[in-house]
C-alpha cells in the first residue's frame, strides 16, 4: 500500500486543528460513505464541522475559513475537490490521507502544476478507481490492479457478484499496471545492491511515502523550509543550482563506504563543494525547485539499498 508513514520525530504537515477535529470524529465515520459522515449540531441548524468543511446543500461542502474551497461528494465515496491557492499534489494527498499516486492516477495528471479553481478527483482510500466494462469480474479487476478481491467486495459493499458496466469501483491499494512494471524493475535493480544497516540516517522529518522510484530514491514530504541533514558523513562533491533535468537545486555527498547520496528539490543550500560534513549536519532546506509536485525531499542512494523504501 502506498501509504505515507509519519516519523515520530517529524512534524506533521496536516494542520493541528484538522488533526484534532479528525480525531474527535473518527467514531462518526462509516464504511458506507467511505469515511465521510457529517452530522448537524443540536438546535443550531448549522451542520457540524468536519476537517474545516460544512455542508451547504446535499452535494457541496464548503470550507468555513475559505469560501473559495468546495468539495462535492459523488458515488463510491469519491470527492471532487476544488484546488485552492498554494495547494500542491503532496499537500492535498497529506490532507486527505491518501497517496500522491492515487491522485495522479485518478486524474491522469502529467504535470506538477495545479491551478486554483481546478477540480480534481479525491478517492476515499489509496488505490485506483475502475469503470466496470462488459466482461469484467472481481477476479480480473483485482489481478489487473494487483488488488485483493475480498477487499474490493467489502470496500464497495458488493452484495451481488454481477457487475454493472458503467459503474465505478474503488480498488483499495490498487496500482496502475505501468506503475507496477516500473516499480518491479526498480525493486529488482535495488535488490542487487549491498545493504548497510544503520549506516544512513533519515535526512529530514515529515511523511516518508516510502515508494522506491527513479535512481533508487524515496520522497519525504513536509513544509518548505524544513531542515535537510547529511544522511551520513562524507565529502560534498556536487552543489548544483537550477532546473537540472527536473532535480532542481541539489547536493551530492560521497561517503567513506564508497556510496553517494543525493538531496534534490532544495530551496536553499548551506554547504559548498569540497566541504566535509558529519552525519546529521544541516546541508539545506526542503523546497519545490525543479520538477516537483510540492514541498518534499527527493533522496537517492547510489551504490547501496535505500533503507527508507518500503
- Residue 213's CATH number: 2.70.70.10
Residue 212: band (very low, low, confident or very high) from pLDDT cuts 50, 70, 90: confident
**Domain presence at residue 200:** yes
Residues 256 and 197 grouped into a single domain: yes
Measured CA to CA, the distance from residue 277 to residue 234 in angstroms comes to 6
Point out the domain boundary residue: 173, 208, 238: 173
Residues 155 and 236 grouped into a single domain: no
Domain limits for position 107: 5-122
Residues 192 and 297 grouped into a single domain: yes
Q: What is the DSSP string of 147-184?
A: --HHHHHHHTT--SSPPPTT-EEEEET---HHHHHHHH
Beta pairing, strands 207-208 & 5-6: antiparallel
Which grid coordinates are listed for 228? 535537510
Residue 231: band (very low, low, confident or very high) from pLDDT cuts 50, 70, 90: very high
CATH number of the domain that residue 46 is part of: 3.10.350.10
**Domain presence at residue 307:** no
**Domain presence at residue 252:** yes
| pLDDT value at 32 more than 90 | no
- By mean pLDDT, which of 42-56, 196-210, 250-264, 279-293 is the weakest? 42-56
CA-nearest of 243, 296, 299, 300 to 100 is 296
Point out the domain boundary residue: 146, 173, 200: 173
pLDDT, tens only, 77-124: 889 999 988 888 878 888 888 888 899 889 988 766 788 889 999 999
| pLDDT value at 41 more than 50 | no
Residues 167 and 207 grouped into a single domain: no
Residues 199 and 87 grouped into a single domain: no
Residues 188 and 275 grouped into a single domain: yes
H/E stretch holding 19: helix 16-24
**Domain presence at residue 308:** no
| pLDDT value at 58 more than 80 | no
**Domain presence at residue 108:** yes
CA-nearest of 226, 195, 235 to 208 is 226
What beta strand segments (E) does the chain contain?
A: 5-6, 53-55, 60-63, 66-73, 79-82, 119-122, 127-131, 168-172, 207-208, 217-221, 227-229, 234-240, 249-254, 260-269, 276-277, 282-286, 296-302
Residues 168 and 90 grouped into a single domain: no
Q: What's the mean pLDDT in 218-222?
A: 92
Distances (CA, A) of 308 to 136, 200, 304: 37, 9, 12
Residues 274 and 229 grouped into a single domain: yes
The SS3 call for residue 48 is: coil
**Domain presence at residue 309:** no
152, 167 in Cβ contact below 8 A? no
Per-residue pLDDT at 210: 80
Mean pLDDT, the chain, rounded, equals: 77
Per-residue pLDDT at 187: 67
Q: In what order do the strands lie in the sheet with 79-82?
A: 53-55, 60-63, 66-73, 79-82, 119-122
Structural domain total, the chain: 3
- By mean pLDDT, which of 47-56, 71-80, 125-134 is the weakest? 47-56
Residue 30: band (very low, low, confident or very high) from pLDDT cuts 50, 70, 90: very low
Residues 222 and 200 grouped into a single domain: yes
% of the chain beyond a pLDDT of 90: 41
240-250 burial, b at 16+ Cβ within 10 Å, e below that, comes to beeeeeebbbb
Q: What is the CA radius of gyration of the chain?
A: 21
Amino acid at each position: 500500500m502506498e501509504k505515507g508513514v509519519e516519523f515520530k520525530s517529524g512534524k506533521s504537515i496536516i494542520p493541528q486543528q484538522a488533526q484534532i477535529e479528525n480525531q474527535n470524529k473518527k467514531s462518526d465515520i462509516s464504511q458506507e460513505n467511505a469515511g465521510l459522515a457529517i452530522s448537524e449540531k443540536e438546535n443550531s441548524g448549522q451542520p457540524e464541522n468536519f476537517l474545516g468543511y460544512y455542508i451547504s446543500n446535499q452535494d457541496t461542502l464548503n470550507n468555513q475559513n475559505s469560501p473559495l474551497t468546495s468539495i462535492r461528494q459523488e458515488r463510491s465515496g469519491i470527492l471532487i475537490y476544488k484546488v485552492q491557492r498554494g495547494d500542491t499534489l503532496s499537500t492535498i494527498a497529506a490532507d486527505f490521507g491518501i497517496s500522491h499516486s492515487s491522485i495522479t492516477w485518478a486524474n491522469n495528471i502529467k504535470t506538477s502544476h495545479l491551478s486554483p479553481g481546478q477540480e480534481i478527483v479525491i478517492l476515499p482510500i489509496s488505490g485506483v478507481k475502475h469503470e466496470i466494462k462488459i466482461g469484467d469480474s472481481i477476479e480480473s479487476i483485482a489481478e489487473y490492479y494487483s488488488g485483493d478481491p475480498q477487499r474490493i467486495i467489502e470496500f464497495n459493499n458488493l452484495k451481488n457478484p454481477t457487475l454493472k458496466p458503467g459503474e465505478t469501483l474503488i480498488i483499495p491499494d490498487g496500482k496502475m499496471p505501468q506503475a507496477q512494471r516500473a516499480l518491479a524493475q526498480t525493486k529488482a535493480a535495488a535488490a542487487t545492491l549491498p545493504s548497510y544497516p544503520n549506516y544512513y540516517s533519515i535526512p529530514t522529518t515529515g511523511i516518508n511515502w516510502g515508494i522506491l522510484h527513479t535512481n533508487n530514491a524515496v520522497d519525504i514530504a513536509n513544509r518548505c523550509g524544513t531542515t535537510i541533514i547529511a544522511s551520513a558523513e562524507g565529502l560534498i562533491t556536487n552543489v548544483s543550482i537550477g532546473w537540472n533535468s527536473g532535480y532542481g537545486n541539489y547536493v551530492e555527498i560521497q561517503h567513506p563506504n564508497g556510496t553517494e547520496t543525493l538531496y534534490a528539490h532544495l530551496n536553499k543550500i548551506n554547504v559548498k563543494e569540497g566541504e566535509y560534513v558529519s552525519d546529521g549536519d544541516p546541508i539545506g532546506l526542503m523546497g519545490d525547485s525543479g520538477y516537483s509536485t510540492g514541498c518534499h525531499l527527493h533522496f537517492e542512494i547510489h551504490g547501496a539499498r535505500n533503507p527508507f523504501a518500503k
